Chains A and B, each alone.
Chain A
Amino acid sequence: MKKTLKLSTAIALGSMVVAGAAQAAESITVVSWGGAYTASQRGAYSDPYTAKTGIEVLDEDKSGNGLAGMRAQAEAGNGTWDVVDILEGNALTACDEGLVEEIDYNEDLDKGADGSFPLDDFVDGSLSGCFVPTIVYATLFAYNNNAFSGDAPKTIADVFDLKKFPGKRALEKIPGANLEWALAADGVPYDEIYDVLDTPEGVDRAFAKLDTIKDSVVWWDAGAQPPQLLADGEVTIASAYNGRIFNAQVVENQPFTIIWDGQMFELDGWVIPKNAPNKKAAMDYLRFSTTTQALADQAKYISYGPARKSSAPLITTHIDTGVDMNPHMPTNPANFKTPIKKDAGFWADNGDDLSERFNAWLAQ
């Protein structure tokens, strides 16, 4: 009796393994950022897609290491990812290295709801060969209302002013955005930041400005951390992805306020790896998830702006709370007065050097 029990357990477990493997044929693996962001894609794209086609969508939260994963899979000649959500800069690199499929935009994507061709409908210049943007998102500063009783910080310069606005700051543990903001706080006009940063003196200047707040910085490296740090009172001002702050403000009722000045906006979207195991379904998913309506639907879940112009008029209210989404969009004209566009090309060229310097600076 005991023996048969053991045996049947082993068989049951064994068949679970086999079942897991067999399942793959009717499903696609979509790699994204996890958390509220993956949830928004699930609501707007994946669940409707499964309902329509019967193909299951498996979520993998590895976009943070998306490029590394695609390289490893290409090197091994053994792909397991079908669709990958990735930043524009990484998508450019992946495309240059031949890791991802080229997209024939007007063929592979649907026309806009207003009949416009994809090449005219998406954000200008974003359809660069392999990349299909879905959202415009911003990295920006937010503060906890409880931290400041009098004046509240309004500009990037205020964020770097520890005397006027005491307390710790949370910054992302990468050079990107921080160096730009340091120069902005040091008085460089927003449209000249990359010209200054392209010189050795400019880099020194940025690090010198960061030095002034270094001792008061808590460094984060996952998008979920800054709202947590703000809520716990660990820091008074944090840089964060605007969607995460929105989620904390509206869904969790946290007393946070966004500083829209100097928001660093960039694009994020899909690529299809060269060795995706279910390429046909992946292309199908790509088409399905980038229609005017699908992109507008995603904005019901999270406050990222749709990358298609034709989606903008269709933005409505938040699905759980009924809040109007428009005032929360980084692309809303009221919020878009003094943004900084992240220069993906600059970072592709100088990212290695600046990261080395940044890591060394951190370790000092």
Chain B
Amino acid sequence: MAIPTYAGPLERAWYYIFRIFCVAVFIFLIAPILVIVPLSFNAEPYFSFTQGMLTLDPGAYSLRWYEEFLTSDRWLDSIKNSVIIAFFSTILSAALGTLAALGLSRSELPFKGVIMGLLISPMIVPLIIAAAGMFFFYSSLGISQSYVGLILAHTALGTPFVVITVTATLSNFDHTLIKAGASLGATPTYTFFKVTMPLIMTGVISGALFAMMTSFDEVIVAIFIAGVEQRTIPLQMWSGIREQISPTILAVATILITFSVIMLTTVEILRRRSDRIRGIS
């Protein structure tokens, strides 16, 4: 945004105030993330900067918490669990969500509003309520404190993202393409994989990424229904904050932030690729 040439002095002042305000908001957004990184090298077992850290004394910094993370069975198990649970629940939500979005995009579908409301309800209902209900219900089915229970719960929470992103992609979708495919003699399956799929793939992938992050970051449902063998990363962090405050969680957070940056870059590359395919830029 450039300042227009016809701007008066008042407008110029506004322009700079606006810029400064935006910079402040960006600092607000990013500062807590940046604070985590140096604190994870704290030599003391507390969450605050020590005098030594501020004077850049090398003795006040250590890799102690990274070492603890890498040598702790609990943390390594929690990573394994989070990966297993996120993997299966992402695949399930992507598959179920994409199918449903394909159905929702058809104008013939009856009760569309009701169905849409139902399908995105996991996003609307406060998590504490869902977690409480699942705790009772899954216990009575005997699947609380099991991988199956947690995977099903996370799948339910992840599907709305897939439904929303894929439906959005489909709303720009040119349905005559399918008819064109059919008129050229392609079977519906062939058309789906060769025409529809590549075009909605961006929506599916970004929805799946949202679903994956949901599962990866979800703590409330996990608190209620995960057992000792399903301890996930957020659950381990939760107990790290409450039961045994230790900067190990900051070390893990730093690693996860690095992971997020990689993921974000991936998404950005995907978006550029899809824009190229659609011929936007």
Q: Is the CB of A231 within 8 A of B46?
A: yes
Give B227's nearest chain A residue, CB to CB: A80
Whether A76 touches B139, Cβ cut-off 8 Å, given contacts A13-B84, A225-B245, A231-B46, is yes
In the complex, A35→B45 CA distance in Å? 13
Within residues 91 to 132 of chain B, which ones have a CB less than 8 A from any CB in chain A?
none
Which of B17-25, B141-149, B194-202, B250-258 lies on the face that meets chain A?
A: B141-149
Asked if A60 is an interface residue, CB under 8 A from chain B, the answer is yes
A319 at the interface (CB under 8 A from B): no
Interface 9-residue window, one of A16-24, A102-110, A290-298: A16-24
Within 8 A of A (CB), among B191-246: 227-229, 239, 242-245
Question: Once the chains bind, are A76 and B140 in contact (CB under 8 Å)?
Answer: yes
Q: With A20-B147, A228-B245 as known contacts, state yes or no: A75 contacts B139, CB within 8 Å.
A: yes
Q: Which residue of B lies closest to A58 (CB)?
A: B228
Q: Which of these, A16, A29, A73, A77, contacts B228 with CB under 8 Å?
A: A29
A232 contacts B244, CB within 8 Å?
Answer: no
| Contacting residues, chain A, for B48 (C-beta < 8 A) | 232
Whether, in the assembled complex, B135 has its beta carbon less than 8 Å from a beta carbon of chain A, the answer is yes
Residues of B within 8 A of A64 (CB): 243
Contact, CB under 8 Å: A72 / B135: yes
Give the CA-CA distance A23 to B48 in the complex, in Å: 40
In contact, A232 and B47 (Cβ under 8 angstroms): yes
Assess whether B140 is in contact with A20, with CB atoms less than 8 Å apart. no
A32 and chain B: residue at smallest CB distance: B243
Counting chain A CB atoms within 10 Å of each CB, which of B47, B136, B245 scores highest? B245
- Residue contact A224 to B244, C-beta cutoff 8 Å: yes
CB–CB B80/A16 < 8 A:
yes
B87 proximal to A (CB < 8 A): yes
Q: Inside 8 A of A225's CB, which chain B residues have their CB?
A: 242, 245
For A224, what are the chain B residues with a Cβ–Cβ distance below 8 Å?
242-245
How many residues of A are in contact with the other chain, CB < 8 A? 33
Q: B239 is contacted by which of A16, A34, A76, A228 (Cβ under 8 Å)?
A: A34
- Would you call A33 an interface residue if the criterion is a C-beta within 8 Å of the partner chain's C-beta atoms? yes
Residues of A contacting B139 with CB < 8 Å? 72-73, 75-76, 78
* Cβ contacts under 8 Å, A34 to chain B: 239, 243-244
CA distance A224 to B240 in the complex (A): 9
Q: Which of B88, B140, B229, B242 contacts A75 (CB 8 A)?
A: B140
Q: Which of B129-166 contact A (CB under 8 A)?
A: 135-136, 139-142, 144-145, 147
- Encoded as 1 (CB less than 8 Å from any B CB) or 0, chain A from 211 to 231 comes to 000000000011111001001
Q: How far is the CB of B230 from chain A (nearest CB, A)?
A: 8
A36 x B84 contact (CB < 8 A): no
Asked if B239 and A252 make an inter-chain contact with CB atoms under 8 angstroms apart, the answer reads: no
Q: Is the CB–CB distance between A33 and B243 below 8 Å?
A: yes
CB-nearest residue of chain B relative to A232?
B48
A36 surroundings in chain B (CB, below 8 A): 244
Query: Chain B, 52-93, contact with A by CB distance < 8 Å: what is the 0/1 string?
Result: 000000000000000000000000000010011001100000
Verify B142–A252 contact, CB threshold 8 A: no
- With a CB–CB cut-off of 8 A, which chain B residues contact A76? 139-142, 144
Does A59 count as interface, using CB distance less than 8 angstroms? yes
The CA-CA distance from A327 to B151 in the complex, in Å, is: 50
Chain A residues, CB < 8 A from B244 = 34-36, 224
Residues of A within 8 A of B84 (CB): 13, 16-17
The answer for the CA separation of A48 and B140 in the assembled complex, in Å, is: 36
Minimum distance in angstroms from A11 CB to a CB of chain B: 12
- CB-defined contacts of B228 to chain A, threshold 8 Å: 29, 58-60, 80
What B residues does A73 contact at CB under 8 A?
Answer: 139
**Cβ contact within 8 Å between B87 and A222:** no
Complex: chain A residue closest to B85, CB-CB: A17
A232 to B45 CA separation, bound complex (whole angstroms): 11
Given the complex, which residues of A lie within 8 Å of B227, measured CB to CB? 29, 60, 80
Contact with B along A66-88 (1 / 0, CB 8 A): 00000011011110100000000
B30-48 to A contact mask, C-beta < 8 Å, 1/0: 0000000000000011111
CB closest chain-B residue, reference A228: B245
B229 touches A78 (CB 8 A): no
Q: Which of B44, B136, B145 has the most CB of A within 10 A?
A: B145
Q: How far is the CA of A60 from the CA of B243 in the complex (A)?
A: 12
Q: Provided the pairs A60-B227, A232-B46, A232-B47 are in contact, do residues A223 and B243 lie with their beta carbons within 8 angstroms?
A: yes
User: Which of B88, B229, B243, B245 has the largest count of A CB atoms less than 10 A from its CB?
Assistant: B243
A322 nearest CB across to chain B (Å): 20
Residues of B within 8 A of A23 (CB): 229
User: Given the complex, which residues of A lie within 8 Å of B136, measured CB to CB?
Assistant: 72
A sample of 6 cross-chain residue pairs with beta-carbon separation below 8 angstroms, ordered by A number, consists of A23-B229, A35-B243, A58-B229, A72-B144, A223-B243, A225-B245
Top 6 nearest A-B pairs (CB, nearest first) are A34-B243, A35-B244, A222-B242, A76-B139, A60-B228, A78-B142
Show the binding face of A for B, using Cβ within 8 Å: 13, 16-17, 20-21, 23-24, 29, 33-36, 58-61, 64, 72-73, 75-78, 80, 221-225, 228, 231-232, 252
Question: Chain B interface (Cβ within 8 Å of chain A)?
Answer: 44-48, 80, 83-84, 87-88, 135-136, 139-142, 144-145, 147, 227-229, 239, 242-245
16 extra interchain contacts, Cβ-Cβ under 8 A, other than A78-B145, A224-B242?
A: A13-B83, A23-B229, A24-B229, A29-B227, A34-B243, A36-B244, A58-B228, A60-B227, A73-B139, A76-B141, A77-B142, A78-B142, A80-B228, A224-B245, A228-B46, A232-B48
